[in-house]
Chain A
């Protein structure tokens, strides 16, 4: 691989170019649709490049005018942010102590496999009782209710990822602190958690993205602006009577922006997270 024939080099560069185009083209097209005029988008054949840049849909979707499409869309972004944030915090809260316990106590490790097995369950298998339960508690169509349901996915996921992280922190460091008289909570706060900070960050990031991406439960358990998340808003746009494809595309760009930016900026963390045990579906 150090020396390569000219033909092999041409092949490698050609293949890399084709692959980049395959990946980029749909995303670039999504963006171009969002800034093209309706006339460009309904031309046959299409105008691939907008004749003039039309940013009006961004104004339309990011608007605070009451009862506008923009207000509803902004509300869905806010709901997604709150639900994902709340569910991530909740998942970390229960996952940190249990992941540490499993990592340090081999005898209880089997219980973790039980928890992880639930991660495999199809959401449809829990949906009906969860719906009835939320209805009973008056939590349908609320941010709290949806965040609670997201724990079914996030809690096992976070526990598993954190456990693999705690495994890499030498137990001797904790023992040393304990011998010096630190209590368990002090050891955790002053020694273990600071050392695990990168793993905690990666876990929080993945959990957040997982929740941001969730659609099935959100579709079932939310009904209007009070709790509808952005994935449901996008599905409404795509399947509704909106005839302006540019507007649908703009919604897609806005919904994709947070996870794509996080993914690109934290590339290293994403790749290490994907390859060390945690695979987001």
Chain B
């Protein structure tokens, strides 16, 4: 078989995928760019070219800056907590103890629980009148009065971060555990014989194996966190007083609640750009630090 034919055949085999991707991703993406320069309404009226008007209006609006801040806070804190707890959980599961297989199986539970069910579950737990958290904290004597965890602008975002963390740290733990189990046993044992302290053991024995998989997990979790929509929509819909309104929620409101498709499209593109920049930045940064380790 000639190599030209092999290449042609590969493209032919990929044709169905490429057609589908152009139809459901390529074309919508291009159309979003076009819409972002117009004042199109969702129902199809309008559609005049307005240049960069949508962009300039959005980038200076308080709604956008607030949503950007909320998104950044959510992403930084939920991802940091998930990575830390995930690695700690993996270090624990890497130890020998009775019931280890059971605890490891438990880690699948939050991961398999649908995101929306997780959000609904925590919304019930945080309920201001009958929620389990209020009841528990009061019974333990930690809290004297029931609080509205999702109703206070200062608390809601952190309550959501905690709920997100509960669902996602086990995923990081499973990834980190797989990496830890790839460390050869005799290397782990040698470090103990050499009397290396726990931090030295983590840094020089385990970390070289963890760095790669954790970098991938970190990048993917960060991207997911920047796109966050589901958990916030179900728990607070962006409230109270927009204190949990993230970028994706803002796009939804702009394009679908207010039916401003043009302005929603430009906002969506700004979000896309931010996600892309973050992904590229992280990958570049981690690659550099990875080669030094």
Contacts and interface: CB of A to CB of B under 8 A. Distances in A.
Interface of A: 1-2, 9, 12-13, 15-16, 19-20, 22-24, 26-27, 29-30, 33, 41-42, 44-46, 90, 93-95, 97-98, 100-102, 104-105, 107-108, 111, 115, 118, 120-133, 148-149, 151-152, 155-156, 159, 184, 209, 212-213, 215-216, 219-220, 230-231, 234-235, 237-239, 245, 248-249, 251-252, 255-256, 259-260, 262-264, 267, 270-271, 274-275, 279-281
A229 to B, nearest CB: 10
Contact of A94 (B20, B124, B170): B20
Given A27-B113, A101-B9, A239-B234, A128 B35 contact: yes
A129 B32 CA distance: 6
Contacts of B127: 245
Contact of B21 (A12, A24, A118): A118
Contacts of A252: 117, 120-121
Contacts of B192: 1
Contact of A127 (B20, B121, B255, B279): B255
Contacts of B28: 125-126, 128-130, 133
B244 interface: no
A90 B166 CA distance: 33
A275 B135 CA distance: 39
B32 A126 contact: yes
Nearest to B271: A122
Contact of A102 (B14, B97, B223, B256): B14
B161 interface: no
A49 to B, nearest CB: 13
Contacts of A20: 102-103, 106
Given A33-B124, A46-B130, A126-B28, A94 B17 contact: yes
A93 B212 CA distance: 32
Given A12-B92, A41-B130, A108-B10, A274 B175 contact: yes
B96 interface: yes
Interface in B90-122: 92, 95-97, 99-100, 102-103, 105-117, 119-122
Interface residues of B, number: 100
Contact of A118 (B25, B35, B166): B25
A155 B135 contact: no
25 contacts: A12-B92, A24-B106, A44-B130, A105-B7, A122-B226, A122-B275, A124-B229, A126-B25, A127-B251, A127-B255, A127-B268, A128-B264, A209-B112, A216-B229, A230-B114, A239-B234, A252-B121, A255-B114, A256-B113, A262-B112, A263-B109, A263-B111, A264-B112, A274-B175, A275-B178
B89 interface: yes
A111 B14 contact: yes
A235 to B, nearest CB: 5
A281 B130 contact: no
Contacts of A264: 105, 108-109, 112
B272 to A, nearest CB: 4
Contacts of A1: 95-96, 188-189, 192
B14 A260 contact: no
B95 A26 contact: no
B166 A22 contact: yes
A115 B130 contact: no
Nearest to A216: B229
B157 interface: no
Given A132-B44, A279-B216, A100 B13 contact: yes
Contacts of A275: 174-175, 178-179, 213
A27 B285 CA distance: 38
Contact of B35 (A45, A129, A255): A129
B199 interface: no
A105 B6 CA distance: 7
Nearest to A235: B234
Interface string B48-83: 000000000000000000000000000000000000
